[in-house]
Chains A and B, each alone.
Chain A
Amino acid sequence: MKKYLSLFRIRFIHGLQYRAAAWAGVSTQFAWGSMTILMFWAFYQNSGNRFPMTFHQLSTYIWLQQAFLSLFMSWYFDNDIFESIIRGHVAYELCRPVDIYTMWFLKNMSVRLSRAVLRCMPILIAAVFLPKPFSVSPPADLTGALMFFVSISLGFLLMVAFSMLIYITAFTTISPLGIRILAVSTLEFFTGAIIPLPFFPEGLQKIMAILPFAYMQSTPFLIYIGSIMGPDILIGVLLQMIWLLMLILTGRTLMKKALKKVVIQGG
């Protein structure tokens, strides 16, 4: 356990070094969030009351999404891991006395987490001081706030567990680029990164409820803005746990199978 912790710490501190990149990211995300909110504002201005949430709730949702973007970014993949599979460096990793699934899992976590730590506060603080319907609001109530933290942690782990599956496919195809693009576009859409899930048509929302994607970023953010309330919070969190367990188990089994068959080309 200790070795994994220190591995995580090294990676995490390493990630914190990139301050300049973080500031560039913060300003980009702030601009991106503002434009998204202005777009929704235009829609809210024009039409009747056919919104799944109030505009202030929506602004809060968008700002949370931008602030915690690094936790849930679907396009981020660690190229070192792909390289090590394709070029065969994975052989060295197998010699080490660590579990390779856990190690890669932590590696992914630490990169995402260190980026999020650097970026979330400036964005949220700036967003608090915006004029009323465009700003980020405090959480609905205390239980909502607490459950938000539980849920966002689970959603984050779920996201990492899913991306592990993509790494594992690289064992079977030499060129994982195609699968990567497919995975990214699916994730972007079904996790609600393009438009929040409550804006989807009803029928599709029912399908979403039985897929893992809704439990990544959508559940925690909806808990925060108070769209998911009362016993539904518990159900949501429970489903997050079940999906997390399932994805990790699948990942581990697939990894074991792949490693049994893995052929390291010499040289």
Chain B
Amino acid sequence: MRLYLKYASIIFRSQMQYKASFIMSLIGQFLTAFTVYLGVYFMFTRFPSVNDFTYTEVLLCFSLMLASFSLAECFVRGFDTFPSIISNGEFDRIMVRPRNEIFQVLATRIEFSRLGRFLQAGFMLAYAIPKSGVAWTPDRILTLIIMIIGGFFVFSGLFIIYASICFFTLEGLEFMNIFTDGAREFGKYPFSIYGDGVLKFLTYVIPLALFQYYPFLYLTGKSDRILYMFLPLIAILFLVPCLLFWRFGLRHYKSTGS
């Protein structure tokens, strides 16, 4: 852990060397998220609600999704840029060092400018928490925190799968984007609005709905099943197959030789 913090501070200082570029990227990330928010806002100026979810409830859902995604993108960035780590031979160097590979991939790439999105999520959260009409009892606050943590780990798992596929294909698979970027884009609305098929898929195959839709029902008081509150913790188990797949890929890794 101390080594990780050391890595983090070095990366932070090196990214601060290009202050103007860093700030512009931060603003850009923020604006990207902000335009998506405007899209949601414009939709709700025309329609009062969607599937019984009001504007502020959707904002709450959107901000939770964005917060967990941006945290994952910031700290698990190494797996997101994994194709380049493999193709420039950096991974070979990582493998000869006496430390865990996952640790090194995580620690050597941290993208602080991605926190621009997190900023947007924070603003929306600050707006939506008082306005959403949710009675903020301690268990609901806990649910909120569990949702973000669960989301962080599920997104991390998806990034790990994306990276593991690179062991075989040597380049990123575009289709995975639908589960990472797509989940962020479409997860701004509770997943139930996309119909039963999509919801089932996101419950049993890729557990995105476990940390978004079900605990969200509990959060907004649409359901009082206490089990829903803890589903994000079950979603974290998704990491197990992801890590197994990673190890499987690692064993099959052949260097690109460059």
Interface residues of A (CB under 8 A from B): 21, 24-25, 27-28, 31-32, 35-36, 38-39, 41-43, 45-47, 50-51, 175, 177-182, 184-186, 188-189, 194-195, 199-201
Contact = CB atoms under 8 A, between A and B. Distances in A.
A26 to B, nearest CB: 10
B174 A188 contact: no
Contacts of B182: 31-32, 35
Contact of B24 (A27, A32, A182): A182
Given A35-B194, A35-B198, A42-B189, A178 B21 contact: yes
A178 B198 contact: no
B50 A43 contact: yes
Contacts of B198: 35, 38
A181 B29 CA distance: 7
A47 B31 contact: no
Contacts of B50: 42-43, 46
Interface string B20-51: 11011101110110111011001101111111
Contacts, number: 102
Given A27-B175, A31-B175, A200-B42, 7 more contacts: A24-B175, A28-B174, A42-B189, A50-B47, A178-B25, A188-B32, A195-B42
Contacts of B29: 181
B226 interface: no
Nearest to B189: A39
B193 interface: yes
A50 B178 CA distance: 30
Contacts of B175: 24, 27-28, 31
B177 interface: yes
Contacts of B186: 35-36, 39
Contact of A181 (B24, B39, B189): B24
B173 interface: yes
B195 interface: yes
A181 B46 contact: no
B39 A178 contact: no
B193 A182 contact: no
A179 B23 CA distance: 11
B25 A185 contact: no
Given A24-B173, A181-B28, A46 B47 contact: yes
A43 B18 CA distance: 44
Contact of A47 (B18, B36, B47, B193): B47
B257 to A, nearest CB: 21
Contact of A182 (B28, B36, B43): B28
A232 B132 CA distance: 43
A10 B39 CA distance: 40
Contacts of B25: 177-178, 181
A41 B21 CA distance: 40
Contacts of B31: 181-182, 185-186
